[in-house]
Every structure is written in C-alpha cells, then in structure tokens.
C-alpha cells in the first residue's frame, strides 16, 4: 500500500466519527432524491393503473356518444381486428340498499372468456360468475368500507328494478391489480339483465401492443366503424374526464427537481468538507514528494468509495421513508385517482442504481477541486494557508450564484410558453439562493452581533460568535435547510393560493341551490329528458332550472370537451369573463352565434376573444367566433361552452346530464333537495347535491389531489433536519476540545449548553429568515410560470399564514431538536479527557 | 410493467385450462399433462370440477341418425368437428390443412334471459395450413363465448362457427352424408372448401361408443367420415390456388372421457391408396407404452370395418424432432404394423415444424405412408 492510501486510511480510521458522518451525510442527500422520486413513482403508478380501464391493459376503447350500442358491433370488430383482443363491456350505475341508506356503485359486466379477460388470475371464481346469474365480485376496498363479506347478498336497485346479487368473492389487489373501487364486477349477461341493456354494450376495450400490425388494425377499425361510434385511446378518454391530475404531475415534477438540488448540495457539502479539512495533510504529503496526480487519484478513489457506500444506504433509507410516509396516504390517493387502488411502492432497481451514481458523481465533483487546489499550491504555502483558513472562500459561490440567477432570468425573459424553461429557471433561482445562503447567513449573523451583541448575555454572545465561525462547516447544511423550508413554503403557498382561487370560482360558478347530476362513467345515455326537466320545473319549490350537457366534438385532429348550458339569466353571473365584453358576448352566445372558451382552452390553443373556432359536431362543422374567455378550473385541457339552442341544433338532441335548481322565494335548500330527490328516484344513476355539498365535495377532491405534496413537504423537512443534525454533530465533536477548555476555565455546563442551543437557533432563524422570501418567490414562480405554462390557469398569489409559517416553524423545531444529541454528547465528555484526547 | 406481465401470464394460464377442458381437445389427454410449464394455479375450478350432473353421459351404445348427428349435441359437455386433409393445386403444389371447432359447456343448461350472453357455452377453434412446398406452418387459434353474432354450434342443419370460421353441413335427400362447407381465414390464409363424402360414415368403437379407459362412462360417441373429396380455393399471401384433395372428419361428443393415469395420446388417421382407411389412437400409459384402451378401426376398400385393439397394432418410433420453440421432443417417424391385415407402413412427417405452441402445445401434422401400402394422413401427438 502506498503512502497516500495509508495516509488516507489512517485519517479516516482516526476520524471514524467524521467518516461515518460523511457517509450518513451522503446517504441523506441520496435519500431525499430517491425518496421523493419513489413517492412520485408510486403516485404515478397509482394513476396509471387507473387509466388502464376496468381490467387494466386496455389501450383503446370503442364507445358511442349516444350511449350503449348494438352488441353486434363486437362481431364486426372481432373479425376486423382479432389481434386487438376486443373485449365487450356493459356498465352503469346501481344502488345497493343498506340499512344505513343507499350506496351508489358502478356495475361492470365483463365477458370472462377469451380475450376479454384481461387480468383475472386463476383463483377467481370466473366460472361461477358465468354460470350463476346474479353473482358478483366486489373490490376489497369497497367491501371493507361497506362491511360486505364473501357470500353476502346485496339488495340492489338498478334500471331493471330490484334484484338480489350474491357476492362470490372479494377481490384483493393481488387478484385484480388496478381494479377500480366502488365497482361490482359481474358477468356481461348479468349486467345486461340488471341494467336493462340486453343486446347492447357500453364499450369495447382493445389492447394494442403498438406493433405495426396493431396500428394497422386500429387504422382499419377507425376507417370502418359503424356511424355514431368512435375509437379513442383509453388514456385520452380518461384525460378528458375532469381531473386535476396533470396539475399534480407538474407540481410533483417541480418538487423532485428541487429535491434533487437540495440532496445534491447535501452530498456536495459533506464531501467537500471532508477534503478541505485535510488540506494540511495533503500539503504534507506533497512535501513528502507525493505527486499531484497520485494525490488526486487517491481523493477520487476515496470519494467514489464513500459515494458508493452512502449511495446504497441512502437509496434504502429513501425508499423506506417513502414507503412509511406513503402508507397512511395510500387509501386517500387510491380513493381519488379514479378510485384506483394505490399501486404498491414498486422499487425500481434503476432508481437505486441512479441513487448510487448520483452520490458517486457528486462526491467526485465535490472532492476533486479542493484536492486539486491543495495539490497545486506549493507545499510550504499550503501548509501555512491551511493553518489559517478552513472554510474556503465565498467568491466562487457568489460568482456561481450570480451566473445561475442571470441564466434563470434570461430563460424567463426569452421564453414565453416552454414549461421546461420554466422548470430550468426555477432550478436556477433556487441554486443561486443556495449558493448565496451561507454568505447571507453570515452577514445576518454579523449584523446581529454588531447591533445586539453588546446587549446580549454571555451565552448568546458566545453563540453568535461561534455560529459565525462555524459557518464554513455548516454553511451548506444551513443552505439546504433553507432550501427545503423555502420549497415547502413555496409549494404550500401555491396550493393555498390555488385553493383560494378554486373556492372563489366554485362560489361563483355554483349559482343554483340544488344540483341533480348523472354519473358520467361509461357514457350512459343522458337521462334528463326535457320531460324530466319539466318535472323539476313543476315543483312548487323551484323558481328556475338550468340545464347542462357535457359533450365532445372534434376540433382539428383533437377531441374537445364541449359543454352546453341552458342558463337562466341569473346564472350568467357564474361566469367570470377574463376577456370579451359581457354586454355583447352574452346575447351572441345565447343566439348560438358565438362560443365562450375557458381560460386553459385559450392558453393551449393560443386564442383570445374575437378569434374563430372550428368544431366538428354530428350536425356538421361549426365555425364560430369566441365571444369571451372565462375562468374555469374544472378542466385542465379547456372547455368550449355553447348555448342550449346551438346544442339542440348541432347535436339533434335535447337531453341533459345535469340540472341546477333555483329555489323559489322562501324555500329552504333542504326542502328543495327533498323535493328534487323525489323526482330523481326514477333513476339510480341520478345524484342530488345541495350547493354546499357539491362545493364541499369539489374542495375535498382538490385537497386529496394535493395531499401527496404534504407528504413530500414533511419528507423534505425530515431530511433537512437530519442534515442539520449531521452537520451539528460533526461540528460539536470537532469543538469538543474547545468546550473542554471553556469548562476548564470555569464556564458552567449550563452556560455552554445554552450557548449551543442559542447558536442553532440563531443559525436556523437566519436560514428561515431567508427561506420566507425565497418561498414566496418559489410560489410566485410556480403560480405565474409553471402553472400558467402547464394549464393556462391564472390565480392570485395569496400569503396564507399557515403555508408561510408552518414549514418555518417546523424547520426551527427540527433544527433545535437536531441539536439535542450533538450538544449533549459534546458536553458529556469530561474536560480532562477531551483535552488529553486531542 | 410487472403487473402487466403477471396479468398476461395469469390470463394465459387460465385460457390454457379452459382450452384443455374444452378439449378432450387434445382428445383424451389428461389435464395434468399439458398444464406443465404453466403455474400450478392454472388448473382452476373448471378442471377440478368432475361434477357431470345434469349432463347426458356417453355410457351406452346409441343409434346414430344422420344428418341429425352431424349437428351439435348440447346435452353433452364437449363436442368437436375435426377436419384434416391434404390438398394440391393444378400444378401439384401440396398443402395440409386442419380446421377444428370445439364446443364446451360450463353448465348443463342456461336460465332464460333477455341477454344473449346468458349461455354456458364456449367455442374454441384451431385453423392450420401446412405449406409443404415452402416448409411453412400457419396456425391460428380462437376462443369465444357463444353468441349468435360471434360463435356457436347449431343442431340441424349442422352449423358451427367462430367469427368468420365456419363449418356447415348441407344435407341431401340420400343417406344423410351430404356435403360439408368449410370456410376460414386469418393471417394471410383463406381457405374455402366443399367436401363430398366418398367412403360413408365409420362408427368407431362399439357401434360408435368409444371407451377411453376401463372406467365405465369414460367414453365418447365417435364417428368418422374418413374420406371426403375436397375442392375449393386457397389464398395464401395474396396468391389464390384452386385446390382439390382428400379430407378426414372426426366427430366426437362426450361428458367425461378423461382418465388421469394416461400419459398422452398419439392419433393416426391414414388414407391408403388402395382405398382403405385406418384410424388408430394409442393412449400411452405411464411408461409411454400402449395403453389398454388404445383402439382403432380399419375400413377396407370394400367398406367393411374391422375394429382394432391394442394387441392388433404395433407402433415403433423411428425418428424424433426437437422443437426449437418449446424444446419438446416429438417422434417424427413410425413403423406401424397391423399383422392381421398385412399392413406394414413407414410413416414420416411431411414437415417437422407442425407444432402448436400457442396457449398449449401439441403436434398435429401431415404425414406420408410407404411400405406395404402407400398413402397419406394426419397424426396428432400430445403429452410430450
């Protein structure tokens, strides 16, 4: 073994604690990256599972706007595209009568034979499902929620009247992964009987492996589909549902990017310090004749080794933490995303490999420059300099910070629509902030020392001094704490602002007192015929009725959500026009001579009031001017709003899938709701909602969507606190001798303890003081750049106190808590021993 | 991705089980055998259930009436229409073909329902073409639940179909042998044939009751039409051939014909050039030897039918072929001797790769016969 290697080993062996801390520092950095990535993967997998349709693997689906269609189409499709494994589906709503009231479930009829069976494992009682009428399978989540067990008999009300279903089995996630919840799976014959849909199908699911043959089969099918039917990718069909999912994705992306930065810095910080500390040793080695290259090789090898060990540990820790944190949220996540069960956290081995590689690369990048620098200067100079300076200079960091900030600003200035540029700018600003942070914290402490110093008691004065001096050691850990806190604040503020905007919007758009709406799953035919709407209108409790019908039309090559409204004039107040003149827009719209588009539509299509839009409807292609742009958070892809007369004309239909009821003067909403329920009882798929309930439900969906950001915030806080703990432990161990000297010169243990905690508090407070404005900045970027560029949603940045100070308090608490062990450990060493030890 | 694969595996395993049960398909192969290579849970309820109550049983001789018996016998659990044959175009280019449709009932009867899906019937189809000149084997499999627009089997006149694969019987005024129409297309192969009877109906076993083991009731009703003159059109990769040749039809229906101690099954159907037709199935016992229930028949050129038992026929394998796809080793050459009738034949596969390796695995292909007689035929090998 050569001299450098022995020197390195000796050093690491003598400073075992240092070495362990370095490894744990690296591991923490990797953990935050891997943990957030794993969380994100799980959330995505959970959502992706829900896109696969009832049984998962369907990639395309044939359905009709008009609702269930003739099942003989299946024979045609089977002949035309046997390779796509066409599978029939019959579905609709059904109410299970319970002692505690009715529960609405979705009934899904499948053909378990042949290609239909996309997922069933051998243990499913498929044969009984087929052989025995009135048998069903229920997903485990719903079964548990409703307290239904295998063998239970359910009294159900469906389109065909009352019936009894026997639950053959409760499906666990193993048996049917990705099965939606709130679903009763039955044989297709049973479904047709219960839903009075004999001879009709709701959809045909197809499975394309994207091979040329499959693509050709899809094209042939498209060309030869009977009129009224359409073939769409399942993913696209699901996307057109009203979801906040992409918002969720984009914000997850932003978070993992920030996590990568924070984690990378923790690794960098740890490794760089381990090398900088040894500048004296390197200088000695150079003086002994060790070549610069040999020294660099040694440091590189050491960095790679530590990186590898830390990377492996960090990947495991990150995964474990993610699994732990996700557990309580899995249910909620599952409930929301189309009711899919949350996918089990599937640890991709590549994620682990990536973690290790990130760690090794970052340690190498962190270790080499200081080592090279140490090796470059003549040994004598280095020996002298190393004795003086342990922290390194601020200059390069400030220069790098400036470069990052300039680059980020330029990115924002020169791009207007690119989401990636937005992300890059966000990363740039955060990086700049991290780089500047140690210097700014130092400056803040200096001000504190100058202004307050003379008035403070000894312990606090000592603390400020000591903190200033230790910045070189813990500066980047503090920067990481600041970045994590700022990220949490930023995301929290964004979500809070978003929520306020959505709440306002809901308050405005929900003008009616009671809503009757139809479950839109599987495009059942609209139930609210004009006659039924008249039944509601005839109620003495009802003053006016609005109607709505959700449609789809083709706009160029894309499918477009179109909503038709039949609005009493009072309901127009629900639309907040961002562009367009209300005085002219509404009359033109009412006459069917113009459309309104939602804000995301305007953003995605880069159109504004006055532009023209083309829509291909069953009645031909419409070319209409846009009369106005209105606020809408209901659809991220955007909606075109048309008036009822235009709908009747273009679609030759006058049925609605939702109605809003306005209470007559003096009628309580409760009474109106009861009256509406009486009329709605004719069909189990009609749900009655009071204004307040609908609003609450919408916000509940919103909150659930963003709940995973809470998980990530907590995660970031934990990791940042562990980082501070790590840095403080190293610091206090290093200073043990100093404390011993203080003790020996008569300082009490209490005084030193107080000083240590005060030191942490000062540093953390400084970091938090920086995190607050930075967090607001991140929120502003998320709102003004990321969300706008993703969805075209505008919202006002609001300073929600909880979002602002919650993470700040958490960070302070975490930092102080992280002081306990390092401080007590340092104090536990008796002065004599500490002095001898050095 | 993992889940996706898991589902596919599970699905395939399950389909395998359905197919196998449908099957007596692999005529009397015990279900355990071809299930090898698939997971243990692949033998689900469908197979585990030996409950035959409610179904009719093939436990005594019956009188066959044609054309009625060409059609479906829905009161029995399984049934098949099994056509194999040799074809050639005017230039002498040779082909072998197989078109088989199976009917399987999951339950003895269905309850009345407005839904056409309220049926316990499942249909399975196999369609293969052996392009002997180019040494290519095209094989396609389909499975569907019965539905008037998709798949089914009708009693009289016999009509069996699965999507656009059709087998139809056109009765005539005479003895009921009539004429068969076959039509099937998939993957660049389209076959349309008309088959006219040449040798009448041969009732196998005891006047059509074919015992498959010593256990009573483990039997099927089994008749063959061993020689059908075939003529029609074959389209292969865009080229259309006028083809003619000779086909063999096997018809069986039963409720329980399996015996779990048997290893596998070799089925021989040979049309000899002197006009004789020989059918023999060897049920291999646990050691691969000739099982006691092995049986067959020899129809002489004059129409006389001689029953053959395990002691009447001697079969020796003379060659093997190992499938590069499945790794299974099949015999590919035989010496088949029927001493009492002075028959000693060397049988050789016309093409080695006539192996089915989709949802389950077996070998079924065209063979040539030489020796005391010349001729041609089809052999099916299962349980290897």
pLDDT digits (tens, 9 = 90+) for A343-353: 445 556 777 88
- The string of pLDDT tens digits covering residues B355-373 is 987 666 789 999 999 999 9
**CA pair distance B23, A235, nearest whole angstrom:** 38
pLDDT score at B149? 92
Q: Which chain B residues have a beta carbon less than 8 Å from that of A186?
A: none
* Cβ <8 Å between B106 and A127: yes
pLDDT score at A118? 41
Query: Is residue A55 located within the same domain as residue A76?
Result: no
**Average pLDDT over chain A, rounded to whole?**
77
Measured in angstroms, the CA of B113 and the nearest CA of chain A are apart by 7
Q: Strand B239-254 relative to strand B219-236: parallel, antiparallel, unpaired?
A: antiparallel
Last-in-domain residue among A390, A420, A455: A390
Query: Does pLDDT of B59 surpass 50?
Result: yes
* Cβ <8 Å between B119 and A189: yes
* Cβ <8 Å between B3 and A177: yes
Q: Which of B17, B88, B24, B39 is nearest to B380 (CA)?
A: B24
Helix (DSSP H) and strand (DSSP E) numbers for chain A: 28, 21
CA of A83: how far to CAs of A61, A410, A637, B100, in Å? Answer: 14, 52, 32, 20
- The string of pLDDT tens digits covering residues B191-222 is 999 999 999 999 999 999 988 777 766 788 99
Tell me which of B17, B113, B115, B185 to substitute to probe the interface with A (most A C-beta atoms closer than 10 Å): B115
Query: Does pLDDT of B353 surpass 70?
Result: yes
Query: Is residue A173 located within the same domain as residue A197?
Result: yes
Q: Which chain B residues have a beta carbon less than 8 Å from that of A133?
A: 111, 113, 118
Confidence category of residue A282, pLDDT binned at 50, 70, 90: confident
Judge whether A649 lies within some domain: yes
**B180 DSSP β-pair partners:** B169, B195
Dihedral sign, CA of B307, B311, B316, B320? positive
Task: Judge whether B154 is closer than 8 Å to chain A, CB to CB.
Answer: no
pLDDT score at B2? 40
Q: Which chain B residues have a beta carbon less than 8 Å from that of A131?
A: 106-107, 120
* Cβ <8 Å between A133 and B111: yes
CA of A614: how far to CAs of A65, A558, A617, in Å? Answer: 19, 11, 10
Query: Does pLDDT of A80 surpass 80?
Result: yes
Q: Angle at the Cα of A758 (from A756 to A762), degrees rounded to 5?
A: 120
pLDDT score at B344? 96
* Contact in structure between A483 and A260 (CB atoms under 8 Å): no
Exposure string over A365-401, b if 16+ CB within 10 A, otherwise e: bbbbebbbebbebebeebbeebeeeeebebeebeeeb
* Cβ <8 Å between A75 and B143: no
* Contact in structure between B383 and B364 (CB atoms under 8 Å): no
Query: Is residue A55 located within the same domain as residue A93?
Result: no
Query: Is residue A245 located within the same domain as residue A369?
Result: yes
Q: Which chain B residues have a beta carbon less than 8 Å from that of A128?
A: 45
Show the domain range for A133.
67-227
| Residue among A117, A122, A189 minimizing CB distance to B117 | A189
ipTM above 0.85, yes or no: no
Task: Judge whether A640 is closer than 8 Å to chain B, CB to CB.
Answer: no
Note which residues in 44-63 of chain A have CB less than 8 A from chain B. Answer: 49, 55-57
User: DSSP for A444-455?
Assistant: HHHHHHHHTGGG
Query: Is residue A386 located within the same domain as residue A263?
Result: yes
**CA pair distance A323, A42, nearest whole angstrom:** 9
Domain count for chain A: 4
**Enclosing H/E stretch for B22:** helix B2-22
* Cβ <8 Å between B10 and A120: yes
Q: Angle at the Cα of A252 (from A251 to A256), degrees rounded to 5?
A: 120
Q: Which of B3, B11, B4, B10 is nearest to A346 (CA)?
A: B3
Q: What is the mean pLDDT of residues B341-360?
A: 87
* Contact in structure between B319 and B339 (CB atoms under 8 Å): no
**CA pair distance B382, A760, nearest whole angstrom:** 78
Judge whether A421 lies within some domain: no
Question: Is residue A573 exposed (0-12), middle (13-18) or buried (19+ Cβ within 10 Å)?
Answer: exposed
Q: Which chain B residues have a beta carbon less than 8 Å from that of A55?
A: 7
Query: Is residue A712 located within the same domain as residue A836?
Result: yes
Judge whether A689 lies within some domain: no
pLDDT score at B293? 85
**CA pair distance A506, A696, nearest whole angstrom:** 10
**Average pLDDT over chain B, rounded to whole?**
82
pLDDT score at B37? 25
Which phi and psi angles does B286 have, rounded to 5°? -55, -25
Does A375 or B280 have the greater pLDDT score? B280
Query: Is residue A602 located within the same domain as residue A540?
Result: yes
* Cβ <8 Å between A71 and B116: yes
Q: Fill in the DSSP letter of residue A784.
A: I
* Cβ <8 Å between B41 and A56: no
**CA pair distance A291, A92, nearest whole angstrom:** 78
CATH classification for the domain delimited by B2-45+66-382, as one of 2.40.370.10, 1.10.10.1590, 2.40.50.140, 3.30.1490.20: 2.40.370.10
Query: Does pLDDT of A327 surpass 80?
Result: no
Confidence category of residue A388, pLDDT binned at 50, 70, 90: very low
Judge whether A196 lies within some domain: yes
Task: Judge whether B103 is closer than 8 Å to chain A, CB to CB.
Answer: no
Lowest mean pLDDT among A196-205, A376-385, A403-412, B120-129: A376-385
C-alpha dihedral (A782, A788, A794, A796), degrees to nearest 10: 20
Note if the bond before A730 is cis, omega within 30 degrees.
no
Query: Is residue A366 located within the same domain as residue A497?
Result: no
* Cβ <8 Å between B149 and A119: no
Judge whether A692 lies within some domain: no
Which phi and psi angles does B331 have, rounded to 5°? -70, 145
Q: What would you report as the CA-atom Rg of chain A, rounded to the nearest whole angstrom?
A: 32
Lowest mean pLDDT among A8-12, A548-552, B23-27: B23-27
Last-in-domain residue among A227, A254, A272: A227
Note which residues in 158-177 of chain A have CB less than 8 A from chain B. Answer: 177
3-state helix, strand, coil in chain A (%, to 5): 60, 15, 20
Q: Which of A456, A486, A78, A83 is nearest to A258 (CA)?
A: A486
Confidence category of residue B151, pLDDT binned at 50, 70, 90: very high
Task: Judge whether B358 is closer than 8 Å to chain A, CB to CB.
Answer: no
Other C-beta atoms within 10 Å of A779: how many? 27
Does A785 or B100 have the greater pLDDT score? B100
Query: Does pLDDT of A680 surpass 90?
Result: no
pLDDT score at A201? 92
Task: Judge whether A226 is closer than 8 Å to chain B, CB to CB.
Answer: no
- HSE value, Cβ hemisphere, 13 Å, CA-based, for A303: 31
Q: Which chain B residues have a beta carbon less than 8 Å from that of A340?
A: none
Query: Is residue A112 located within the same domain as residue A165?
Result: yes
Instruction: Show contacts of B281-285: CB within 8 Å, 24+ apart.
Output: B281/B27, B281/B28, B282/B310, B282/B313, B282/B315, B283/B28, B283/B212, B283/B213, B283/B259, B284/B383, B285/B261
Q: Which of A752, A754, A731, A762 is nearest to A445 (CA)?
A: A762
* Cβ <8 Å between B150 and A198: no
Which phi and psi angles does A55 have, rounded to 5°? -110, 15
CA A441 to chain centre: 32
Domain extents in chain B: 2-45+66-382
Query: Is residue A545 located within the same domain as residue A606?
Result: yes
A vs B: CB pairs below 8 A: 116
Judge whether A443 lies within some domain: yes
Task: Judge whether A188 is closer than 8 Å to chain B, CB to CB.
Answer: yes
Judge whether A235 lies within some domain: no
* Cβ <8 Å between B120 and A130: yes
Last-in-domain residue among A335, A356, A390: A390
pLDDT score at A508? 78
């Amino acid at each position: 073994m050569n001299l450098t290697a022995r020197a390195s080993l000796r050093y690491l062996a003598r400073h075992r604690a240092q070495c362990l801390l370095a490894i744990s520092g690296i591991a923490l950095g990797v953990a935050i990256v891997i943990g957030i990535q794993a969380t994100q993967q799980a959330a995505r997998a959970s959502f992706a599972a829900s896109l696969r349709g009832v049984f998962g693997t369907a990639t395309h689906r044939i359905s009709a706007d008009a609702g269930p269609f003739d099942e003989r189409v299946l024979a045609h499709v089977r002949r035309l595209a046997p390779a796509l494994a066409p599978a029939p589906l019959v579905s609709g709503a059904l109410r299970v009568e319970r002692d505690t009231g009715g529960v609405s479930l979705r009934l899904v009829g499948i053909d378990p034979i042949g290609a239909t069976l996309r997922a069933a494992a051998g243990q499913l009682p498929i044969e009984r499902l087929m052989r025995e009428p009135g048998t069903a399978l229920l997903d485990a989540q719903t079964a548990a929620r409703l307290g239904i067990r295998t063998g239970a008999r359910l009294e159900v009300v469906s389109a065909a009247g009352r019936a009894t279903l026997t639950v053959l089995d409760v499906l666990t996630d193993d048996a049917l992964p990705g099965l939606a919840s709130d679903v009763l799976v039955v044989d297709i014959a049973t479904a047709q009987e219960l839903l009075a849909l004999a001879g009709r199908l709701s959809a045909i699911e197809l499975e394309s492996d994207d091979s040329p043959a499959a693509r050709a089969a899809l094209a042939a099918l498209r060309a030869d589909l009977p009129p009224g039917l359409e073939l769409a990718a399942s993913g696209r069909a699901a996307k057109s549902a009203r979801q906040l999912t992409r918002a969720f994705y984009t914000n997850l992306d932003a978070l993992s990017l920030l996590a990568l930065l924070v984690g990378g810095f923790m690794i960098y910080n740890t490794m760089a310090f381990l090398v900088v500390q040894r500048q004296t040793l390197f200088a000695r080695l150079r003086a002994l004749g060790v070549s610069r290259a040999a020294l660099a090789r040694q440091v590189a090898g050491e960095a790679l080794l530590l990186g590898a060990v830390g990377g492996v540990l960090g990947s495991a820790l990150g995964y474990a933490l993610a699994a732990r944190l996700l557990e309580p949220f899995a249910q909620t996540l599952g409930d929301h995303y189309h009711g899919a069960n949350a996918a089990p956290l599937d640890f991709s081995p590549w994620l682990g490999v990536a973690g290790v590689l990130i760690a090794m690369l970052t340690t190498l990048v962190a270790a080499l420059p200081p080592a090279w620098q140490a090796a470059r200067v003549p040994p004598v100079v280095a020996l002298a300099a190393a004795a003086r300076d342990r922290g390194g200079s601020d200059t390069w960091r400030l220069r790098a910070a400036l470069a990052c900030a300039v680059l980020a600003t330029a990115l924002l200035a020169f791009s207007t629509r690119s989401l990636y540029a937005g992300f890059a700018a966000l990363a740039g600003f955060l990086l700049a902030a991290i780089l500047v942070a140690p210097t700014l914290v130092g400056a803040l402490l200096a001000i504190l020392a100058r202004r307050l110093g003379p008035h403070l008691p000894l312990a606090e004065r000592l603390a400020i001094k000591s903190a200033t001096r230790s910045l070189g050691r813990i500066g980047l850990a503090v920067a990481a704490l600041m970045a994590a806190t700022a990220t949490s604040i930023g995301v929290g503020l964004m979500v809070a602002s978003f929520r306020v905007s959505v709440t306002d919007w809901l308050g405005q758009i929900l003008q009616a007192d009671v809503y009757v709406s139809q479950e839109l799953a599987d495009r059942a035919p609209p139930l609210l015929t004009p006659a039924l709407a008249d039944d509601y209108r005839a109620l003495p409790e009802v003053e006016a009725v609005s109607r709505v019908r959700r449609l789809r039309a083709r706009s160029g090559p894309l499918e477009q959500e179109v909503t038709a409204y039949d609005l009493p004039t009072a309901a127009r107040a629900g639309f907040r026009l961002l562009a367009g003149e209300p005085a002219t827009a509404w009359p033109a719209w009412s006459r069917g001579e113009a459309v309104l588009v939602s804000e995301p539509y305007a953003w995605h299509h880069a159109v504004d009031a006055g532009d023209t839009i083309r829509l291909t409807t069953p009645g031909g292609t419409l070319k209409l001017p846009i009369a106005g742009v209105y606020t809408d958070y209901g659809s991220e892809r955007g909606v075109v709003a048309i008036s009822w007369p235009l709908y009747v004309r273009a679609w030759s239909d006058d049925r609605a899938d939702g109605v809003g009821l306005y209470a007559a003067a003096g009628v309580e909403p409760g009474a109106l709701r009861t009256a509406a329920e009486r009329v709605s009882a004719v069909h189990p798929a009609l749900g009655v909602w009071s204004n307040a309930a609908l609003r609450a439900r919408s916000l509940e969906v919103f909150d659930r969507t963003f709940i995973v950001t809470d998980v990530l915030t907590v995660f970031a806080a934990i990791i940042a606190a562990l980082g501070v703990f790590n840095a403080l432990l190293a610091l206090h161990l290093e200073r043990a001798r100093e404390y011993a000297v203080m003790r020996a010169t008569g300082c009490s243990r209490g005084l030193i303890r107080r000083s240590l905690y005060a030191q942490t508090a000062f540093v953390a407070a400084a970091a938090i003081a920086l995190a607050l404005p930075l967090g607001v900045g991140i929120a502003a970027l998320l709102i003004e750049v990321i969300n706008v560029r993703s969805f075209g949603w505008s919202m006002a940045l609001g300073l929600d106190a909880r979002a602002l100070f919650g993470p700040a308090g958490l960070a302070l608490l975490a930092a102080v808590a992280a002081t306990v062990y390092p401080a007590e450990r340092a104090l536990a060493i008796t002065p004599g021993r500490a002095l001898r030890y050095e | 991705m993992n889940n996706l694969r898991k589902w596919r595996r599970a699905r395939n395993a399950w389909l395998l089980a359905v197919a196998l049960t449908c099957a007596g398909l692999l005529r009397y192969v015990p279900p355990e055998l071809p299930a090898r290579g698939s997971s243990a849970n692949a033998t689900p309820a469908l197979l585990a259930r030996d409950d035959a109550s409610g179904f009719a049983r093939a436990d005594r001789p019956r009188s066959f009436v044609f054309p009625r018996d060409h059609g479906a016998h829905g009161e029995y659990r399984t049934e098949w229409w099994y056509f194999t044959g040799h074809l050639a175009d005017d230039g002498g280019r040779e082909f072998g073909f197989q078109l088989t449709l199976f009917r399987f009932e999951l339950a003895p009867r269905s309850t009345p329902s407005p839904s056409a899906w309220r049926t316990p019937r499942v249909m399975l189809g196999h369609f293969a073409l052996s392009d002997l000149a180019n040494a290519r084997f095209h094989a396609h499999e389909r499975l569907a639940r019965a539905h008037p627009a998709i798949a089914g089997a009708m009693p009289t006149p016999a009509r069996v179909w699965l999507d656009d694969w059709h087998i139809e019987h056109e009765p005539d005024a005479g003895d009921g042998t009539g004429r068969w129409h076959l039509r099937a297309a998939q993957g660049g192969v389209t076959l349309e044939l008309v088959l006219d009877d040449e040798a009448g109906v041969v009732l196998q076993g005891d006047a059509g009751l074919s015992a498959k083991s010593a256990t009573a009731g483990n039997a099927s009703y089994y008749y063959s039409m061993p020689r059908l003159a075939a003529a029609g059109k074959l389209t292969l990769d865009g080229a259309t051939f006028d083809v003619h040749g000779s086909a063999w039809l096997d018809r069986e229906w039963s409720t329980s014909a399996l015996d779990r101690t048997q290893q596998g099954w070799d089925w021989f159907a040979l049309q000899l050039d002197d006009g004789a037709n020989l059918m023999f199935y060897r049920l291999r016992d646990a050691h691969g030897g000739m099982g006691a229930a092995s049986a067959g028949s020899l129809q002489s050129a004059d129409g006389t039918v001689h029953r053959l038992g395990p002691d009447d026929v001697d079969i020796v394998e003379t060659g093997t072929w190992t499938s590069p796809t499945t790794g299974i080793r099949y015999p590919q050459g035989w010496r088949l001797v029927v001493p009492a009738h002075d028959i000693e034949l060397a049988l050789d596969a016309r093409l080695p790769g006539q192996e089915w390796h989709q949802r389950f695995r077996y070998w079924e292909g065209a063979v040539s016969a030489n020796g005391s007689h010349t001729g041609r035929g089809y052999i099916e090998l299962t349980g290897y």
